[in-house]
Amino acid sequence: MDRLKIAVQKSGRLLDGSLEILKECGIKVPKASGQLKASVDNFPLDLLFLRNSDIPQYVEDGVADIAIIGENILIEQERNVKTIMKLGFSKCKVSLAAPKNSSIQSAKDFEGKKIATSYPVTLQKYLEKVGVNAEIHTISGSVEIAPTIGLADGICDIVSTGNTLFMNGLKEVEVMLKSEAVIAANSSLSKEKQAIFDKLIFRIESVLSAKNSKYVLLNAPKYQLEAITNILPGIKSPTVIPLAKEGWISIHSVINEQKFWDNIDALREAGAEGILIVPIEKMVR
């Protein structure tokens, strides 16, 4: 039987997030310190633990069929792989930064200056986009010390919390790119592997849908049903149950996390009472 090979980062936050979402999909990854490969017993999936920068090449060459990887790495390397979906974790920015006491306030201020980076392709494209001519110094690791040692006037690097910039006397002056973990795939999966991949994507979508939604139960006067259902469309339409109290109903539905408090305020204004919010573990559409 065919098995799908998925590449993940061998250590770090991206690995933790990758294993967590697989766990939420019901996939039991065996624990082993320093492992390079692991086979899953309850799903036709093998994990390859690789250096982040090597993953796009492995997927392009078909050594790995799919990967969970930072979107910024795919953009930088420009490999022939397909980005399938965003996963909502390991969010970061690729930003331009300069010394705090510098007069540099935006990308435009780097005209004629030197920028150190581990992302030369991303940086070059951005500079061309904004019409800035700057000298790019490509280095790997410890990019943030480049201005201190006189190698560059500023840097282009990953920013998560901003603590590293602060500790090195730098300020973020412009966000070039926002990134997060994504699922990427080889452009020519076999029919058998594509079928396995489709099942995995279905599980991931169910997990992500649940994370972005809440189940809501409420009581309301029956005459307010139309007003409330306009606020709570649910997946198709809300569930409506008569209550023992004459003229009252119970309404059950799903609301989006991003619009949560706006919806709650609107429900209260429409006469809803006893609103109960319940987290959703999985949501299968």
User: Is 89's pLDDT higher than 90?
Assistant: yes
Same domain, 171 and 99: yes
Confidence bin at 256 (pLDDT 50/70/90): confident
Domain containing residue 31: CATH number: 3.40.190.10
Same domain, 38 and 144: no
- 265 assigned to some structural domain: yes
Q: What is the pLDDT of residue 33?
A: 66
- 246 assigned to some structural domain: yes
Same domain, 71 and 201: yes
For the stretch 180-223, pLDDT in tens is: 999 999 999 999 999 999 999 999 999 998 888 888 899 999 99
Q: Find out whether 181 and 71 touch, Cβ atoms under 8 Å.
A: yes
User: Which is more confident, 85 or 164?
Assistant: 85
Residue ending a domain, among 210, 230, 250, is 210
User: Is 37's pLDDT higher than 70?
Assistant: yes
Same domain, 70 and 200: yes
User: Which is more confident, 238 or 113?
Assistant: 113
**Total number of domains in the chain:** 3
How high does pLDDT run on average in the chain? 91
Task: State the Cα–Cα distance between residues 180 and 21, nearest whole angstrom.
Answer: 14
- 101 assigned to some structural domain: yes
Q: Which domain holds residue 155?
A: 92-179
Residue ending a domain, among 156, 191, 210, is 210
Q: Find out whether 154 and 176 touch, Cβ atoms under 8 Å.
A: no
Q: What is the pLDDT of residue 147?
A: 93
Same domain, 59 and 187: yes
Same domain, 65 and 184: yes
Domain containing residue 270: CATH number: 3.30.70.120
Percentage of residues of the chain with pLDDT beyond 70 = 97
User: φ, ψ for residue 150 (rounded to 5)?
Assistant: 80, 15
Neighbours of 274 (CB within 10 A): 9
Q: Smallest Cα–Cα separation from 97: which of 18, 190, 175? A: 175
Same domain, 64 and 30: yes
- 219 assigned to some structural domain: yes
Same domain, 32 and 61: yes
- 284 assigned to some structural domain: no
| pTM of the shown model | 0.82
Q: What is the pLDDT of residue 34?
A: 72
Q: What is the pLDDT of residue 236?
A: 67
User: Which is more confident, 231 or 173?
Assistant: 173
Same domain, 85 and 18: yes
Span 96-112, average pLDDT = 95
Residue ending a domain, among 158, 191, 210, is 210
The burial class, CB within 10 Å (0-12 / 13-18 / 19+), for 207 is buried
Same domain, 80 and 96: no
